[in-house]
């Protein structure tokens, strides 16, 4: 069917509710919008689904959630009765329709005879990962669009290890989902009729998760003479982050206007810790209270951002910078305490700054790289545990996500909040800030300037533009920038990289003879093309000057 035929099928279906029908009727004279919503289906890919809310095949709505869940149910049933009986843990964040989508998920699973455990209110993504393993479930579903704007929602799948599904698993689910011709005809039950298959989770899981997070503290008796301003950006971090930090004695000043679980994110300009607008209100609190640090978590509380008081100003640290400082603190303390395991390993991604690699290596910790996506880090943790050959000590991504202890198999901003506060307290006793600690690492390992630029290209034309950008660099790569030569190009769609154990992915990485590198990849969940820069210099000024020249070359067509 063409997009108009698909639109009419939805419009005239007896299975459509009145609210969706009215939304579709309102589109009848808007051919461009109908095409956007029906020319393709919202992609169920390696990161699940994420998209703008609304009626249509290319939007997030209950019908597309039902379809995804039906495909996941078929995958579970294909794994046997035990998988269905072990069931699925379902959690959701504060977004529009998150509650409804979590109930729709449970109802479709129940219609397939699959048990589920569902939280009674919003919970963070890392607690979902924790609960899957704690309950011995077969998998998990997290309803969230992470750090995206209010008009988005999403759907992420987890396996029995608490990891997001890796490609070998997701490929099977995708085939089941793709075989469902009509999202409007998926079998489901009324939520109340499905309750014999559904267990509502109580606070006992929360308490076990909090206790696990508290246990990662390396110095519980450290002097907690720091003031911490915290914003959950209206999301799921409000209760767990404040609870854990309070129990351990930290002075946390909440940004009260951003503590309510608001679907519209009314009191924040942007809920993404990666952008400076997310910190505006928190910084006002910090200045009024003379706070040492500002921390903020994204809506599903897997990412953590920080701003540090340096003199009279507050400096925002990147995810690469804050993770490197925390990594150094953890390895330093574990070395002092004699708790560094044999054959320690740290994981990060191919688009993460090399500063953390140098830190790890200085403590005798090996480094392993993965593609973007914490599922690959979680998978590596599991596989090394099976082999018994290497022991996990830290994992992180440049996108403000890290993991200190593996009772969670995804990035965990509750853990990160605790470790960052402990790190700040440690350095304050020494008369230093987190930013001072970062500069110490630069002096020891070289000055690294990291930057991520994201260019948005929406719709059909946007998709073509993204393809053109990446293919242009693949087919006609730069050979040098000024006198700095490209010495290696890693194409993660190539057999060479797949032979090294990387799944095929549309990522390019250009490595230069001064050890700087640039990576380019289309986002897997948004209509964006991302450019990652890791530039090394003898001084900060030299690295920044190089960065400007590198951007001129790589981003000239954006």
CA distance 514 to 45: 36
CA–CA separation, 343 and 461 (whole Å):
49
Q: Do 320-445 and 210-316 fall under one CATH topology?
A: yes
Give dist(CA 130, CA 93) in Å, integer.
16
Per-residue pLDDT reduced to its tens digit, 169-194: 999 999 999 999 999 999 999 999 99
Q: Which structure tokens are listed for 54?
A: 């609304």
CA pair distance 137, 232, nearest whole angstrom: 28
Does the domain spanning 40-202 belong to CATH 3.40.120.10?
yes
For residue 116, indicate whether it is catalytic: no
Confidence (pLDDT) at 526: 73
pLDDT above 90: residue 558: no
* Per-residue pLDDT at 105: 98
Residues 6 or more apart whose CB falls under 8 angstroms from that of 258 comprise 231, 232, 233, 234, 267, 268, 281, 282
pLDDT tens figures, 453-467: 999 998 778 888 999
SS3 string, 108-160, reads: HHHHCCCCEEEECCCCCHHHHHHHHHHCCCCEEEEECCCCCCCCEEEEEEECC
Distance from C-alpha of 402 to C-alpha of 396, rounded to nearest angstrom: 4
pLDDT of 499 > 80? The answer is yes
Mean pLDDT of 75-99: 98
What is the CATH number assigned to the segment(s) 210-316? Answer: 3.40.120.10
* Helices 3-12 and 18-25, axial angle in degrees (round to 10): 140
pLDDT at 352: 97
Of the chain, the percentage scoring pLDDT greater than 70 comes to 100
CA-closest candidate to residue 61, choices 35, 81, 42, 36: 42
Q: For position 238, what pLDDT does the model report?
A: 98
546 has pLDDT over 90: yes
Q: Are 299 and 94 in contact (CB under 8 A)?
A: yes
3 state SS for 378-424: HHHHHHHHHHCCCEEEEEEECCCEEECCCCCCCCCHHHHHHHHHHHH
**pLDDT tens profile 271-321:** 999 999 999 999 999 999 999 999 999 999 999 999 999 999 999 999 999
pLDDT of residue 239: 98
Decide: 170 and 43 in contact? Cβ < 8 Å: no
Give the model's pLDDT for residue 44: 82
Domain topology for 320-445:
Alpha-D-Glucose-1,6-Bisphosphate; Chain A, domain 3 (3.40.120)
**165 with 319: CB under 8 angstroms?**
no
Q: Please give the pLDDT value at position 525.
A: 67
User: pTM for the full model?
Assistant: 0.95
Mean pLDDT of 44-71: 93
Q: In whole angstroms, what is the distance from residue 199 CA to residue 195 CA?
A: 7
Q: What number is the average pLDDT over the span 545-555?
A: 95
Q: Which CATH architecture has domain 447-554?
A: 2-Layer Sandwich (3.30)
pLDDT digits (tens, 9 = 90+) for 315-367: 999 999 999 999 999 999 999 999 999 999 999 999 999 999 999 999 999 99
Question: Which residues have C-beta within 8 Å of that of residue 121, sequence separation ≥ 6?
Answer: none
**Residue ranges per structural domain of the chain:** 40-202, 210-316, 320-445, 447-554
Mean pLDDT of 257-278: 97
Cβ neighbourhood burial of 263 (10 Å; 0-12, 13-18, 19+) = middle
Contact 143, 102 (CB under 8 A): yes
Of the candidates 23, 157, 154, which has an alpha carbon nearest to the alpha carbon of residue 101? 154
Catalytic choice (146, 231, 353, 417): 146
pLDDT range class, residue 390, cuts 50, 70, 90: very high
What integer best gives the mean pLDDT of the chain?
A: 96
Q: What is the mean pLDDT of residues 536-557?
A: 94
Report pLDDT digits (tens) over 2-44: 999 999 999 999 999 999 999 999 999 999 999 999 999 998 8
Tokens of 528: 């964006």
User: How far apart, in whole angstroms, are the C-alpha atoms of residue 144 and residue 493?
Assistant: 29
Which residue in 544, 469, 548, 554 sits closest to 510, CA to CA?
Answer: 554
Phi first, then psi, for residue 319 (nearest 5°) are -60, -35
């Amino acid at each position: 069917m063409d997009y108009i035929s698909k639109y009419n099928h939805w419009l005239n279906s007896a299975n459509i509710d009145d609210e969706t029908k009215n939304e579709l009727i309102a589109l009848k004279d808007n051919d461009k919008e109908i095409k956007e919503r029906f020319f393709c289906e919202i992609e169920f890919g390696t990161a699940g689904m994420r998209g703008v809310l609304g009626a249509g095949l290319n939007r997030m709505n209950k019908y597309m959630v039902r379809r995804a869940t039906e495909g996941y149910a078929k995958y579970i049933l294909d794994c046997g009765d035990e998988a269905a009986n072990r069931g699925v843990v379902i959690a959701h964040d504060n977004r529009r329709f998150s509650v409804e989508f979590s109930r729709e998920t449970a109802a479709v699973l129940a219609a397939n005879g699959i048990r589920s455990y569902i939280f009674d209110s919003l919970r963070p993504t890392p607690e979902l990962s924790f609960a899957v393993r704690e309950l011995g479930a077969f998998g998990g579903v997290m309803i969230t669009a992470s750090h995206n704007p209010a008009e988005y929602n999403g759907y992420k799948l987890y396996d029995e290890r608490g990891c997001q599904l890796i490609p070998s698993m997701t490929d099977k689910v995708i085939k089941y989902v793709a075989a469902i011709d009509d999202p409007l005809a998926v079998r489901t039950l009324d939520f109340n009729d499905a309750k014999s298959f559904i267990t509502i989770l109580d606070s006992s899981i929360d308490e076990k998760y909090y206790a696990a997070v508290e246990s990662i503290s390396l110095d519980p008796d450290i002097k907690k003479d720091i003031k911490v301003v915290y914003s959950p950006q209206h999301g799921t971090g409000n209760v767990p982050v404040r609870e854990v930090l309070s129990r351990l004695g930290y002075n946390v000043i909440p940004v009260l206007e951003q503590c309510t679980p608001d679907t519209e994110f009314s009191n924040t300009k942007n809920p993404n810790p990666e952008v400076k607008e997310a910190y505006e209100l928190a910084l006002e609190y910090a200045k009024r209270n003379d706070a040492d640090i500002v921390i903020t978590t994204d809506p599903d509380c897997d990412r953590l951002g920080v701003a540090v008081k340096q003199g009279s100003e507050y400096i925002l640290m990147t995810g690469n910078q804050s993770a490197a400082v925390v990594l150094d603190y953890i390895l330093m303390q574990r070395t002092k305490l004699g708790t560094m395991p044999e054959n320690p390993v740290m994981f990060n991604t191919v688009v993460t700054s090399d500063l953390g690699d140098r830190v790890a290596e200085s403590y005798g910790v090996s480094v392993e790289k993965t593609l973007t996506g914490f599922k690959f880090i979680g998978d590596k943790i599991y596989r090394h545990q099976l082999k018994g050959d290497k022991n996990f000590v830290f994992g992180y991504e440049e996108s403000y996500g890290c993991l200190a202890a593996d009772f969670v198999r995804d990035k965990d901003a509750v853990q990160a909040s605790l470790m960052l506060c402990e790190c700040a307290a440690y350095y304050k006793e020494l008369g230093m800030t987190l930013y001072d600690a970062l500069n110490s690492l630069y002096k020891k390992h070289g000055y690294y300037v990291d930057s991520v630029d994201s260019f948005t290209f929406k719709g059909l034309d946007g998709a073509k533009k993204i393809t053109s950008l990446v293919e242009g660099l693949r087919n006609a790569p730069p050979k040098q920038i000024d006198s700095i030569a490209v010495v290696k190009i890693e194409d993660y769609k190539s057999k060479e990289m797949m032979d090294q154990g990387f799944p095929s992915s549309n990522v390019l990485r250009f490595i230069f003879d001064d050890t700087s590198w640039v990576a380019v990849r289309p986002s897997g969940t948004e209509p964006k093309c991302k450019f990652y820069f890791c530039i090394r210099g003898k001084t900060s000024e030299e690295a920044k000057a190089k960065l400007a020249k590198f951007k001129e070359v790589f981003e000239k067509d954006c």
